[in-house]
Structure 1
Amino acid sequence: MGTGKRGLLAAAVSVVCAVTVLGAPGVAFASPGAPDPGPSSSATTSPAAGSSAPPLPSTASNKDLEAVHIKLEALYHDAAVATDDYNAAEEATKKQSAEIVELAKKIVAGQAKLDDLKDRAGAAARAQYRTGGLPDGARLMLSDDPAEFLDGAGRVLQGERATKGMIGELTRTQQDLEQYSKDASTQWQKLEAGRKTKAAAQKKIEKQIAAAEKLESQLEKEEKERLEQLERQDAQKAQTAWLDTGILAEINSAASVQGKRAVQFATAQMGKAYEWGAEGPDTFDCSGLTSEAWKSAGQAIPRTSQEQWKQLPHVAVEDMRPGDLIIYFDDASHVALYVGDGAIIHAPRPGRTVTLAGAGSMPILGVVRPDA
């Protein structure tokens, strides 16, 4: 392990009790977001490696708890997907609102310009009326003075050009105002659609979380403890399988300056509660944490995990370095910040806090680099 990695993890490890730094295959973190295990359930090798947590007495069978675990995972996953939809709609409505404000400013300025041009046109018409209603060209033809004729010819030409210019400017200003109004109407329609999308996503999030909480509330205390053990064991098993591929031996890139700053920010948020749609400073969702971490490092990135996956440069898992973002699940519904030594910091789900976990404890879709 390089000294750079040790420095990056030092602060994180000091915050988390009973967590072993991943340095070799076969060692695993507690499951993402699970409470710190007590002496009887500390992080160990996975069941596949020959060890398991002692069972706790309960009226529910292991099969029943496994079914509950699967159902909870599905509910919280659907809530995470809906949270991404909500966050995307939130970002879109912010952008559309800002565009409407800018268009409104253009409309006000354009209307003022149009009023000024109309005043100038009116002044020209009034001046012509005061001279008997004859245009400059007609008065010029009636002149008997050659010098006045030649001098007047230049003025007439200038006046015609000015009149054409003013008419053209009036036309363009009117066209601009019409376009601004159409654009504002379009953005307003998008804004309304975005609000409906946000409302639908919020409804789905709240429904899924309420169903999960109701399901958990039906468990006895001992059943909840066994369920937490089950979650930890699943995460440990996945992490150990990932480490057993030897991948950690290939991951040795040092963090960039910005990457170090992002890791430092994420480390400072450990222990803060998960809240869907939150970007801090007191609560976070998964992509709220990663986007704010990189914002603190001076790099703006997309708000949602799906857009982070779509828009940021991809790197191979074996080439990732501290500060990179690991995207999880086939639908890119979760994201975490890689901190080195096979570990991540992430905001797992409702009911959990920002925590340190194994990078392989969930199915990895890929890795992106904000400062590539």
Structure 2
Amino acid sequence: MGAGKRSLTTVTMALACAAAIMAAPGVAYADPTPSPAPRSPSSTPASTKDLEAIRKKLDKLYHDAAVATDAYNAAEEKADKQSAQIVELARAIVQGQAKLDKLKDRAGAAARAQYRSGGLPPEAELMLSDNPQQYLDGAGRVRQGERATKSLLAELARTQKDLKQYAKDASAQWQKLEGNRKAKAEAKKKVKKQIAAAEKLESELEEDEKERLAELEREAAAKAQTAWLDSGVLDDVKGEATASGKKAVEYATEQLGKQYEWGAEGPKTFDCSGLTLQAWAAAGQAIPRTSQEQWKQLDRVDIKDMRPGDLIIYNSDASHVAMYIGDGAMIHAPRPGRTVTVAGAGSMPILGVVRPAA
């Protein structure tokens, strides 16, 4: 991180910088806790109150990074789909052009044949014919040929219309793809900005202050988990994992200790929704890429009906997701600088529970 450790004077300056970043365009959140007052370089180490303010500030920064990560993942997923659609449209255009060329050749041949057979009016040909019946049979074939030619021309027109539509659709997809590339780049910039601000803030702390900060984080999580359990929310939770749920939990458990990396979905690193995505993929179930889309698209269940393998969505904006593994615990990829770990399911604000399994 930083080249040298400084006192909390620098820390509070970093807090001010972080506050400015929080006010930047994008998702904004109110900060109920004021930054600690500046202290002189000769002051004693940070107080618990100061560190608590830092902890809350870090939570905000990493939360915003999670929101931006979801935006990045969503843009990436859309760009991938649009790229695939463009490839399909290009293939359809190539096939349609080949079909159009063949139809034009057939239409040209029909036109030339009709030209060669032109001449006397049909009544005169019938009067002069040595074999009127043969002429009439031929005339029937001519009418059939005319109908076939008419059908050929109609198919030619349809193919031309299809080609124009394919080209129009491809152009629209290219525009959407370009828009999502820009959205992806902007989200990437926001993620890096928030994480850099958080890392800078942490780098200004002395080692003992980092240890005390980590302890405050554990205490806050334990307090939230205890309050959640004491509410009796799990008293009626008796659901057992399905076969697919067990496979998903098994996969998630095998990833314990792997580093968090925003935008990653394995196999070496994960972000929160990348972990749940791959866990359920291992169980044979495809689910949306982001925590927000998982919340929107998957079936919602009451906490009392929760069972291992279900996904717990956190925060009012659905910016985090974890997998419930039973006994009030969950597995998740927390944030940058952390690893995939087991934690209390109630250690963060729960928005709701969703179930990937049919």
TM-score under structure 2 length normalisation: 0.85
Shift of 1:140: 5.0
Partner of 1:172: 158
Does the C-alpha gap of structure 1 residues 142 and 281 become closer, same or farther in structure 2, counting only changes over 3 Å? farther
Contact 1:140 1:153 in 2 (8 A): no
Q: Name the CA distance, whole Å, in 1 between partners of 2:120 and 2:269.
A: 74
2:331 corresponds, among 345, 358, 366, to 345
2:56 corresponds, among 55, 70, 74, to 70
Contact 1:313 1:369 in 2 (8 A): yes
1:216 aligns with 2:202: yes
Contact 1:136 1:156 in 2 (8 A): no
1:254 aligns with 2:240: yes
Does the C-alpha gap of structure 1 residues 142 and 352 become closer, same or farther in structure 2, counting only changes over 3 Å? farther
Q: Name the CA distance, whole Å, in 2 between partners of 1:59 and 1:136.
A: 111
Any stretches of 5+ residues in structure 1 without a counterpart?
1-57
Any stretches of 5+ residues in structure 2 without a counterpart?
1-43
Contact 2:265 2:274 in 1 (8 A): yes
Partner of 1:364: 350
- CA-to-partner distance for each residue in 1:249-272, whole Å, 9 max, x for gaps? 211110000000000000000000
What SS is found at the alignment partner of 1:356? strand
1:103 corresponds, among 89, 105, 123, to 89
Q: Name the CA distance, whole Å, in 2 between partners of 1:294 and 1:278.
A: 15
Shift of 1:138: 7.9
Does the C-alpha gap of structure 1 residues 245 and 216 become closer, same or farther in structure 2, counting only changes over 3 Å? same
Shift of 1:336: 0.2
Contact 1:89 1:195 in 2 (8 A): yes
AA of the residue aligned to 1:66: E
Does the C-alpha gap of structure 1 residues 59 and 139 become closer, same or farther in structure 2, counting only changes over 3 Å? farther
Q: Name the CA distance, whole Å, in 1 between partners of 2:289 and 2:74.
A: 7
What SS is found at the alignment partner of 1:250? coil
1:270 aligns with 2:256: yes
Partner of 2:313: 327
Shift of 1:143: 4.7
Partner of 2:21: none
Contact 2:126 2:132 in 1 (8 A): no
Q: Name the CA distance, whole Å, in 2 between partners of 1:139 and 1:207.
A: 89
* 1:1-372 correspondence to structure 2 within 5 Å: 59-131=45-117, 133-134=118-119, 141=126, 143-144=128-129, 145-372=131-358
- CA-to-partner distance for each residue in 1:4-27, whole Å, 9 max, x for gaps? xxxxxxxxxxxxxxxxxxxxxxxx
- CA-to-partner distance for each residue in 1:269-291, whole Å, 9 max, x for gaps? 00000000000000000000001
Shift of 1:64: 1.1
Contact 2:251 2:279 in 1 (8 A): yes
- How many pairs align? 315
Shift of 1:134: 3.9
AA of the residue aligned to 1:263: V
Q: Name the CA distance, whole Å, in 2 between partners of 1:207 and 1:75.
A: 9
AA of the residue aligned to 1:293: A
What SS is found at the alignment partner of 2:324? strand
Q: Name the CA distance, whole Å, in 1 between partners of 2:50 and 2:79.
A: 43
Task: Supply the RMSD in Å over aligned alpha carbons.
Answer: 1.7
Shift of 1:324: 0.2
TM-score under structure 1 length normalisation: 0.82
Q: Name the CA distance, whole Å, in 1 between partners of 2:357 and 2:123.
A: 71
Shift of 1:152: 1.6
- CA-to-partner distance for each residue in 1:300-320, whole Å, 9 max, x for gaps? 000100000000000001110
Does the C-alpha gap of structure 1 residues 156 and 274 become closer, same or farther in structure 2, counting only changes over 3 Å? same
Contact 1:322 1:338 in 2 (8 A): yes
Shift of 1:247: 2.0
What SS is found at the alignment partner of 2:336? coil
AA of the residue aligned to 2:325: V
Q: Which has the higher contact order (CA 8 A, sep 6+)?
A: 1
Contact 2:292 2:318 in 1 (8 A): yes
Contact 1:140 1:152 in 2 (8 A): no
Shift of 1:142: 6.3
Q: Name the CA distance, whole Å, in 1 between partners of 2:271 and 2:145.
A: 66
- CA-to-partner distance for each residue in 1:298-356, whole Å, 9 max, x for gaps? 00000100000000000001110000000000000000000000000000000000000
Shift of 1:154: 1.0
